Amino acid sequence: MTRVLVTGASGMLGGAVARALAERGDEVTVMQRRPSDSGLREVLGSVDDPAAVRRAVEGQEAVVHLAAKVNVVGPLAEYERTNITGTQLLVDAAREAGVTRFVHTSSPSVAHAGSALVGVGAEPADPVRARGSYARTKAAAEVIALAADGPGFAVTALRPHLVWGPGDTQLIGRLVARARAGRLPWVGDGAALVDSTYVDNARDALVAGLDALARPRAADSAHGRALVVTNDEPRPVGELIAGILAAHGAPMPRLTIGPTPAGVAGHAVDLAVAAAENVRPITEPPLTHFLVEQLTTAHWFTQRETHTALQWRPSVSLDDGLERLREAQ
């Protein structure tokens, strides 16, 4: 039994990780902003609150850090406060409290500078060239976390890509809501190959990452490394979106926008959002340049190093995941 703190447990993936750890017998504490009915020990507060962070890590042996600001848009200061400052506070407090294992949940977007990613591994996080406030601040956070790795404090950064599943309010919730409102266009031809990750596989990979840090350090271990996590089943982005919409009985988009006009529109939206941040924040823009890039460029990754370092492989295929999504409606 391990005493484990899970941050961001109010989210779909964080909650799944906390439940999985508790079910296997670990003593789990969750840190989140609002109380829940999880039945687990809770520390209420934000990761950018030093006092709350110190309370959360006290007596813990390990941390799985998922808390982050993940909205599509928002003031840069909010991303910095949660993603960068929060990670630094948590790392520092964890080491001071005697925590020995730290799993940092990152994103492949930290190494995406706008071009296609085809069969690559976990390239270095780049806080300067990453696209958008979320990716740049998550890149900085990953750098902070991995820099702390060393004797007595083992760190790994796992990058699940496009996590989805029943109860998802981020990717799936937005796609379905926009499709039903007639506000979801096809962007480009939908042929770009993308990886994604069914939530159960992402959950199991994070748990495997925690266990991997308990094993001795070696050249192919998870210690001090970033690893991308996916279902290892690249699909055309249009096919993946169509499968998700069909599972919810949502209508398919009727409008198609070419990549070039979509990119221009995305830039215009970015400018409008930036101008409105101090007046009337825009939280759900119809399109951004980052979203256009994600829909029109390939993003798929080799999983060879991930499988070796974590001693883990996905157990739920994309087709099985879509069927589970359909059954959950």
Give me the active site residues, please: 134
CA distances from 266 to 290, 295, 315, 320 (A): 8, 12, 36, 34
DSSP-based three-state secondary structure for 274? helix
CA 307/CA 62 separation, integer angstroms:
22
DSSP-based three-state secondary structure for 312? coil
Outline where DSSP puts E strands in the chain: 3-7, 27-32, 41-44, 62-65, 101-105, 117-120, 154-160, 163-164, 186-187, 193-194, 197-198, 226-229, 235-236, 256-257, 299-301
What DSSP designation does 75 have? -
DSSP-based three-state secondary structure for 329? coil
| Burial of residue 196 (number of CB atoms within 10 Å: 0-12, 13-18, 19+) | buried
Cβ-contact 112, 122 below 8 angstroms: no
Beta bridge partners of 163: 197
Find, among 109, 110, 148, 107, the residue nearest to 126 by Cα.
110
